[in-house]
Structures are given as C-alpha cells and as structure tokens.
Structure 1
Amino acid sequence: MAKLLSSRCGIQSVVPETYLLPPEQRPGELVAPPCKTIPVIDLEGDRNEVILEIIKASQEYGFFQLINHGVAEELMKDVLVVAKEFFDLPVEEKERFYSEDPHDQGCRLRTSIDFANEKFHFWRDSLRHLCHPLKDQIHHWPENPARYRGVFGPYSEEVRSLGLRVLDLICEGLGLESGYFKGGLSQGQLMIANYYPSCPNPNLVLGLPKHGDPHLITLLNQGYVPGLEVWNNEQWVAAEPIPNAFVVNINHKLQIISNGKLKSADHRVVTSTNVARTTVASFILPSTDTLIEPAKSLISELSPPLYKSFTSGDFDKIYVLDVHQGKDPLERFRIRS
C-alpha cells in the first residue's frame, strides 16, 4: 500500500524515480493556456440549437462543457468531498480495495494505470467501480466514509440519466434512428474517483498520459482545480473549470459508431505543486459482447466504413496496452483503403 500516493501525502519531497517521465513526454514548464474556445453548451437552450452545438463541438474538439444540465450543484460538490474523504482514509481502510489488475471489473483502488507492468508511473490514485444497475453494484462500494454510498448512489443515477440524454441528442444530430444507443450500447456505467496529490515537481510527471477514452462518452466533474488539458490544433489547451459544469468528451467507440463524424480527442492531466485535485468521471459504456461498428445508416458509396466491426470486449483488451506503448488503439480497427 506504500504505492498509493494518497498514503504518502506530506512526506513526498522529491519525485520518486519510477514516476519520472522520459524527457520527451514531460509537460515541462510551459503551462497550457486556458481554452476559452472549448464550447460551453447550455442544456436549457433551444433543443435544435443545442443539438447543433453538441455535434459541432464533437466534430471540432471532441470536448464541450455542459451547464444547466439538471444535476444539483450541492450533489456535484458532495461527491467531490466524499471522494476526497475516501483518499484521506487510513491505509488499512483502503487496502481491501487495492488491485493492480487493470482488467479487474470489481470495485478497486489503484495507483497509476497498470502499476505492475508500466515502465513509469503516473501521479494519480483512483477508485473505480461499476454503477449500473445500481442495486446490483452498490453493495460492492466502500462503506467508509459513511456517506459514500448515500452520495455516490444518487449521483451515479443522475449522471447516467444525463449521459443518456446527451446520447439521445447526439443520435438525433447524426440522423440515427431513435433509440440507437439504448440496449447493449449503453448498458454499462463506470465511475472513477481520481485523486492527484500535489507534486514536488510537476514538470517531470503527468497525472494521466496522452490518451482518448475507450467507451461512448465521459462526463467529468472536475470541480474548481485545473489540470485537464486537451490536444487541439497541434497544441495542449487547458479545459478551464467552470462552476457546476460537466466536461463531456466523445470516446473511441462513439467515434467509430459515427464513422469518424465525431472526434475522440486526446487529453492528459497535469499536476500542481500547491494543490491536490479530486475529480469524479462517469462513463457510459457498452456491454462486452456488444458489436461496435459504424452505424449502417451513416454508410454509403460516398461515405464507406472507416472501421472494422468488433466486440466491445475485444477493444477493451488491447486498449491499456496500446496507451502504454503510445499507440492509437483506433488504428488496429481502421480499414485501409
């Protein structure tokens, strides 16, 4: 358990050698400028306008921020507080959730991404668990802090409802048949609470490396502490925190289903010398046996399929390996002309 950064806070005066990135991968001293151009979409706006804004943002950035989304501000704050309370627990309270298996689908706590196999580690601890159906998953979650299940339960249901609502708008915007994303394509929900401690030298490490998310969509509650950076127009730009907003991004499998019409943008997380950062990410994901392929209604003679068909589980098996090796997982499934 000494591997957990959250169990060593306050005693880490230098970056351990195993966390030092190769020079070409370090963020360095340059701070990415806050990006005022990442679209901010008001979900209470005119429905047709909202759909157009979501599709445009998903094509140009792969990211947008969502306001007036219906999830209570108090609940968004509470889930971040409770997540931090978990990471502040004594080691013995956390150790039963610890696992280094990147394919373990239970409620598990880990540091970095794949600690046992990666060449160098990332400056993050994370607690991840499935959320849907809630009644089947909640008993696997921590009982300490005492409020954990009482806060994360309602939060996961509200965020799932919001995620499905966004997928319905994307479905309409792409011209897919109504309900396209229901059933197996959106059967799962994964929640990850991330903790990025303050770092002695943020120039030498990353909280998370450059990557795209593997599922359908991500809804990130990033609170008020910056750290998320998006790769856009050949540069890193910071996704500026907006009070009570979700950062929404398109995932790899949704890019494939859209036949490349939507963009799964690469992003990373940088750290800070002065402040720790806690975030909670929710992912809508397909069941492992669900077929992932370009939607047939988006295929034509002028728009041939760009990707092969595969099961969601097949993609998940190679995703972590490719991210570690700096490869784009989508390339394995791209159809070469």
Structure 2
Amino acid sequence: MNHYPPCQKPELTLGTGPHTDPTSLTILHQDQVGGLQVFADEKWHSVAHIPGAFVVNIGDTFMALTNGIYKSCLHRAVVNTETVRKSLAFFLCPKLERPLTPAAGLVNAANSRKYPDFTWAALLEFTQNHYRADMKTLVAFSKWVQEQESNNKLIP
C-alpha cells in the first residue's frame, strides 16, 4: 500500500521519483485522486483513474525476456495540495535464482540479443544499489553483469 499525504508545495516534491520497475509486471490499483504519471513523447502524462480498472506496467525483467520488443515504462507518482492519495501495487517477479533469457524465437538475424542472461536476484541487487531515474536501467545492468562475470563474481 502506498500512501501519499497532501503537500502544500507539491511542485517541490514527488511521491515516488521517476523510475522503471525492475519486475516483470506491476499491477496497480489507484484511488480516484490520481497522481501516477508516465513519460512518453518527451513529457509527463497523467494516468487517469478509471473506476474498477487496474494499471499494468511492463517492467525491466519483461523487457529483457522479450529482448526489448516490449518496453518498460518510466513513471512517477506526484502529490497534490489537498487530498491523500493511496494506491495498491502487486509486483510479478520471477524466482530469485532462475536464469532469465529471452525465448529463442525472439532473437534472430533481424533482432540480435540485447541483454545477457541474468537472475532476478542479480537485477534486484543492482537496482537496490544503483537507482536510475531514466530508461537505461537494463543497459547499465547489462554492463554490470558483464563486469561481474569477467571478475567471476556473478553466475547467471
């Protein structure tokens, strides 16, 4: 459960800063207050509250599993001056030590391999220690995995 109290100067704070979710999918139920924004076409867009509907965000793990065919979603939560905002999120994540790799049919001559094999445990560790406020988490993570493998510190 996320709880965002009102703020007298909402332009000076964020409920949650810009990020992509490292998960496979995020299923979000937001209240009527709203406050979720997604970044597209070089600007922030508010996600309207639709009664009874869920917001589903594609995360970095799903992006890697589809070899970049589906993109993770840069988003943030903003606060307002008058009303408490609440949301409830469910995160779909793979097993910690399961090796993750895209399906063979998603990698071919026209669509080369974009990300190395990895485990959810490795991605989780990386995102907890290397916060990024942009869409480049998987690129940075891929470089980190390659460095760890070359130093024999990580086995996917």
2:83 to 271, 275, 288: 275
Give the aligned residue type for 2:34.
P
Cα distance in 2 for partners of 1:254, 1:226 equals 25
Structure having the higher strand fraction is 2
**2:142 maps to amino acid:** F
Quote the offset at 1:293 in angstroms: 2.0
Matches within 5 A, 1:173-188: none
Instruction: Note if 1:333 corresponds to 2:142.
Output: yes
Q: Which residue of structure 2 lines up, in the alignment, with residue 291 of structure 1? A: 99
2:130 aligns to what SS in structure 1?
helix
1 or 2, which has the higher helix percentage?
A: 1
Q: 1:239 aligns with which of 21, 24, 47?
A: 47
Matching residue of 1:227:
35
Matched, 1:321 2:129: yes
One-letter amino acid matched to 2:71? K
- Work out the CA distance in 1 between the residues paired with 2:17 and 2:23: 17
Q: Which has the higher contact order (CA 8 A, sep 6+)?
A: 2
CA distance in 1, matches of 2:96, 2:3: 28
Q: 1:299 corresponds to which letter in structure 2?
A: V
C-alpha displacement of 1:329: 2.1
- Aligned ranges 1:74-223 → 2 under 5 Å: 193-223=1-31
User: SS of the residue aligned with 1:195?
Assistant: strand
Alignment RMSD: 1.5
Instruction: Extract unaligned runs of 5+ from structure 2.
Output: 146-156
User: Please, which of 299, 305, 308 is the counterpart of residue 113 of structure 2?
Assistant: 305
How many Å separate the matches in 2 of 1:206 and 1:321?
20
Offset at residue 322 of structure 1 (A): 2.2
| Distance (whole Å) between structure 2 residues aligned to residue 206 and residue 320 of structure 1 | 19
Q: How many Å apart are 1:321 and its aligned residue? A: 2.5
Code of the residue aligned with 1:246 in structure 2: it is F
| Bigger Rg over Cα | 1
Q: Which runs of 5+ in 1 are unaligned?
A: 1-192
For each residue in 1:98-133, what CA deviation from the matched residue of structure 2 results, as whole angstroms up to 9, or x when unmatched?
Answer: xxxxxxxxxxxxxxxxxxxxxxxxxxxxxxxxxxxx
Please give the TM-score of this superposition, normalised by the length of structure 1: 0.41
The CA distance in 2 between the partners of 1:297 and 1:318, in whole Å, is: 28
Number of paired residues?
142
TM-score normalised by structure 2 residue count: 0.86
